[in-house]
Amino acid sequence: MTQTQRSEKSKTSILEKAAAFIVDRRKAFYLIYIILIIFSIFSTGWVKVDNDLTDYLGDDTETRKGLDLMNEDFITYASANIMIDNVSFSDAERLRDIIEDTDGVKEVEFDDTTDHYSKGAALFGVTFSGTGDDKASEETLHKLEETLSNYDTYVSAEFGDMKANTVANEIKVVMVISCFIILTVLLLTSRTYMEIPVLVITFGVAAILNMGTNYFFGTISFISNSVAVILQLALAIDYAIILCHRYTEERETNGAREAVIAALSKAIPEIAGSCLTTLSGLAAMAFMDYKIGLDLSLVLIKAIAISIIVVFTLMPGLLVSFSPLIDKTHHRNFIPKITAWCNAVVKARYVTPFLFIIVVAAAFFLSGKCPYAYSYTNLTTIKKSDTQIADEMIKDTFSSSNILAIVVPSGHYDKEQALAADLEKYDEIDTITGLASVEATDGYDIGDMLTPRQFSELTDIDIELVRVLYGAYAADKEEYGRIVGGIDEYKISLAEIFDFIYDMSEDGYVSLDDDTKEDLDELKEKLDDGREQLESDTHSRLVLKLNISEESEETFEFLSTVRAEAEKYYDSDDIFLVGNSTSDYDLSCTFSRDNITISILSILFILIILFLTFQSAGLPIILILVIQGSIWINFSFPTIQNKPLFFLSYLVVSSIQMGANIDYAIVITNRYTELRKKMNKYDAIKDAMNLAFPTIFTSGLILASAGIIIGLMSSEPAIASIGTCLGRGTIISIILVMGILPQLLVLCDYIIEKTSFSLKDRLQNGGAENENK
């Protein structure tokens, strides 16, 4: 016995011992899984879901830095746009008062301009007393919806758990439909009816454990939370089917226990090899600058790993326990032979590969022109949520606005006013709101610089007392030259002198009459409210309402213009532009890097795995060409249709398509290389296609169906576009694997042989004589 044979025997022996341990300790494994399931049912409710994609921007992006500053320094109250159609202006005014008087509503923006009343419709800009994370804001919104239920009302708002709840309800429907399709496919491809309960239990346990163990990540994105379970079932179903089919084969000559042990020991290396390509494709996403890739990668890799563990440790025991029923429920094979297709593919081997090259070249060009979108503005979904319907109605009736915030160092009201004045000259800006420009009273803004005389006239405080107060302020700031040079010319911003006088009054150093004190209290309330939203000890923000689209080259260029204006007054490193448009711009910059990273890494990882699997330099290139070709064809559709594609869909689906669909190509190639040892290449490829078809049909149909259903049933553009692209890409991959790949294997048979690193029998059983017949 050679050393290699002894090594293989030792390896097989270890696998058989492990398989026997799992089978014989199946009740212990049942108990362990029951405990884990109970834990997971509870821990699923502990998982925090992040509904904001901007949270996954890189730490070095301007939007991320600006958002972090705003979250630390300012309060951003929850808001909603409520449109009431078919209402008179007088009724709209009455409804404004009702909305404003509702507990939890801070203020309502409504006037007689076309921005708020147009075509018999009223648009109310409602600001709530709580933030977007405050449950009270969501409760107030529901209260308003009930109050206005008798009117033709459209509510556009996304805060709290509103998006998560909508997506969760949609995914439940998707899961039900997907499970029905999976059961139907399993029924068609199974060999006994009682395999199905075993597979269902295996899938169910793996799904529950994956959802429950998301708790250990703390927070996951709403995308991962929504699609992980469905993709887990679609991507990992092969592993359970492989073990199940192995068991059925072994059961013909062995008892139930021995059959499971033999099947598991043989399936472990086969399943492990199959999952590596899927895991490598998913792992490539972890290297994205946009951290949603890492989030999806970790959740899906964990999902696949859990599925493999469940198949290896739970399913063997289930097969033994269900073996009496499995033995009694055999049925005929419902999947037909595809001999006619195989013959047609072989006959067309000199034509379609060249057409494939032309199509792939065109697809490469078209996919490079894909109209990517970085926001939801121009995206549409087949199913629409109430919020989407409301957004469309509001957009059609009123002009849409685009909000941009400029965050700058605080304490310079003169600079803020000057910047606001410079920006007002641009037609792209409708309004500018900053604390320095907020009107205090009698035509004075909070940031206006006032002399003692002006402040005295404004507040009706005696001029002599004001002079004393101005002097005290100068002394407090150690600006003694102001006192010596003449206090009457000393100018202080209204906000600063007001704060000083108010504090002096509160401490009892200044005595004011009741009317003046009441005016000061009113101004103090307005100033504090403005500061909560617009100023902190370190930063101020100016809020701009733009009349240009959220995502366009024009908008991105205007961001540079705004920054250039701000740099007249502040250092460039101290300026942060924050808004949907800046987020879109950052995502567009990140996408170009992530696209290259994922493409290179996914191909590199899989190329290495294929190289080691087939020990050939030629085969991996052929397989990669077919699957990469399917990716290019898939993403040429948006260009042909002139339909924007959410950028994240490309990054996620290209990784999954390369990692998962390559398995279909591996199945046929494995069969072909095995059969090629004993027959000519034409017979080998025909038999390989017939043998591989049930596996490819089962896995491909389930993955494609899951993707298409997600695309049809989800109103969330990011999730829907991932589903649509995944479904379409899987179908394209199946067609190429079952049509083009066999032809390339036959045509490149000589090259494959010459680039192989393993010694093997060239041809047996008359293969040489029949090779060219």
For the segment 370-378, the average pLDDT, to the nearest whole number, is 87
Task: Report the 3 state secondary structure along 630-671.
Answer: HHHHHCCHHHHHCCCEEHHHHHHHHHHHHHHHHHHHHHHHHH
pLDDT, position 629 = 93
Phi-psi domain of 442 (left: phi exceeds 0; alpha: psi -120 through 50; beta: other): left
438 — phi, psi (to 5°)? -75, 130
Length of the chain, in residues: 773
Res. 377: pLDDT tops 90: no
The crossing angle, in degrees rounded to 10, of helices 717-747 and 339-347 is 70
pLDDT, position 121 = 93
Task: Report the 3 state secondary structure along 298-330.
Answer: HHHHHHHHHHHHHHHHCHHHHHHHHHHHHHHCE
Task: With cut-offs at 50, 70 and 90, classify the pLDDT of residue 466.
Answer: confident
Res. 51: pLDDT tops 90: no
pLDDT, position 771 = 44
Instruction: Name residues whose C-beta falls within 8 Å of residue 456's C-beta, 6 or more positions apart in sequence.
Output: 462, 463, 466
pLDDT, position 696 = 86
Give the distance from CA 223 to its chain's centroid: 4
Q: What is the tens place of the pLDDT at every residue in 146-169?
A: 999 899 999 988 776 677 778 778
> Which tokens hold the place of 99?
């909305």
Res. 761: pLDDT tops 60: no
pTM listed for this prediction: 0.81
What's the alpha-carbon Rg for the chain, to the nearest Å? 34
Sheet with 429-433, strands from edge to edge, namely: 429-433, 539-546, 402-409, 576-579
Instruction: Name residues whose C-beta falls within 8 Å of residue 769's C-beta, 6 or more positions apart in sequence.
Output: none
Instruction: Please check whether residue 123 is in contact with residue 83, taking contact to mean a CB–CB distance below 8 angstroms.
Output: yes
Task: With cut-offs at 50, 70 and 90, classify the pLDDT of residue 10.
Answer: very low
Beta strands in 410-531 (DSSP E): 429-433, 439-441, 444-445, 449-450, 492-493
Res. 8: pLDDT tops 80: no
Instruction: Name residues whose C-beta falls within 8 Å of residue 474's C-beta, 6 or more positions apart in sequence.
Output: 480, 482, 483, 487, 490
Beta bridge partners of 439: 445
pLDDT, position 730 = 92
For the segment 469-474, the average pLDDT, to the nearest whole number, is 85
430 — phi, psi (to 5°)? -85, -50
Annotate 533-576 with DSSP letters as a single string: HHB-SSEEEEEEEE-S-SSSHHHHHHHHHHHHHHTTTS-GGG-E
Instruction: Name residues whose C-beta falls within 8 Å of residue 550's C-beta, 6 or more positions apart in sequence.
Output: 375, 377, 402, 580, 581, 584
pLDDT, position 630 = 94
User: From the CB of residue 18, how many other CB atoms can be counted at a distance below 10 Å?
Assistant: 16
Q: What whole-number percentage of the chain has pLDDT above 70?
A: 95
pLDDT, position 4 = 47
Name the DSSP letter for residue 462: -
> Measured between alpha carbons, how far is residue 143 from residues 149, 393, 730 in Å?
10, 22, 45
Q: Of 134-143, 220-229, 348-357, 500-509, give the range with the top mean pLDDT.
A: 348-357
Beta bridge partners of 552: none
154 — phi, psi (to 5°)? -130, 125
Determine which of 14-23, 38-47, 319-328, 458-467 has the lowest per-residue pLDDT on average: 458-467
> Measured between alpha carbons, how far is residue 412 from residues 104, 277, 492, 530, 706 in Å?
33, 57, 11, 16, 56
For residue 154, the SS3 value is strand
Q: What is the tens place of the pLDDT at every residue in 513-552?
A: 777 777 777 777 777 777 888 888 899 999 999 989 888 8
With CA atoms as reference, report the closest residue to 214 among 203, 228, 204: 228
Res. 770: pLDDT tops 60: no
For the segment 433-462, the average pLDDT, to the nearest whole number, is 80
Helix intervals (H) in 348-423: 352-368, 386-397, 413-423
With CA atoms as reference, report the closest residue to 415 among 276, 567, 535: 567
Name the DSSP letter for residue 49: E
Please classify residue 404 by burial: count the beta carbons closer than 10 Å to its beta carbon, then call 0-12 exposed, 13-18 middle and 19+ buried.
buried
Task: With cut-offs at 50, 70 and 90, classify the pLDDT of residue 442.
Answer: low
For the segment 544-572, the average pLDDT, to the nearest whole number, is 92
Residue that the structure tokens 């090594």 belong to? 7
Q: What is the tens place of the pLDDT at every residue in 258-292?
A: 999 998 988 888 788 778 888 888 888 888 888 88
> Which tokens hold the place of 745?
């294997």
pLDDT, position 160 = 64
Using the CB atoms, write b or e for 260-269: b if 16+ within 10 Å: bbbbbbbbbe
Q: Which amino acid is at 207?
A: A
Question: Mean pLDDT over all residues of the chain?
Answer: 85
Res. 14: pLDDT tops 70: yes
pLDDT, position 380 = 85
Determine which of 188-192, 574-578, 594-598 has the lowest per-residue pLDDT on average: 188-192
> Which tokens hold the place of 739?
């049509």
Q: Which amino acid is at 163?
A: K
Task: Report the 3 state secondary structure along 236-270.
Answer: HHHHHHHHHHHHHHHHCCCCHHHHHHHHHHHHHHH
Q: Which amino acid is at 746?
A: V
pLDDT, position 29 = 94
pLDDT, position 164 = 73
Beta bridge partners of 579: 404
Give the distance from CA 421 to its chain's centroid: 39
Instruction: Name residues whose C-beta falls within 8 Å of residue 567's C-beta, 6 or more positions apart in sequence.
Output: 575
Instruction: Please check whether residue 584 is in contact with residue 572, taking contact to mean a CB–CB distance below 8 angstroms.
Output: no
Task: With cut-offs at 50, 70 and 90, classify the pLDDT of residue 11.
Answer: very low
C-alpha angle 598/221/125, rounded to 5°?
120
For the segment 672-680, the average pLDDT, to the nearest whole number, is 86
Instruction: Name residues whose C-beta falls within 8 Å of residue 22's C-beta, 6 or more positions apart in sequence.
Output: 29, 264, 312, 313, 316, 317
Alpha-carbon gap, residue 305 to 235, rounded angstroms:
11
Determine which of 32-36, 59-63, 520-524 has the lowest per-residue pLDDT on average: 520-524
pLDDT, position 758 = 58
pLDDT, position 766 = 44
Q: What whole-number percentage of the chain has pLDDT above 90?
A: 33
Q: Which amino acid is at 100?
A: E
pLDDT, position 13 = 67
Res. 503: pLDDT tops 90: no
> Which tokens hold the place of 535?
């100023």
Task: Report the 3 state secondary structure along 96-153.
Answer: HHHHHCCCCEEEEECCCCCCCEECCEEEEEEEEEEECCCHHHHHHHHHHHHHCCCCEE
Res. 6: pLDDT tops 60: no
> Which tokens hold the place of 4?
């290699």
pLDDT, position 56 = 87
Res. 773: pLDDT tops 60: no
Res. 687: pLDDT tops 80: yes
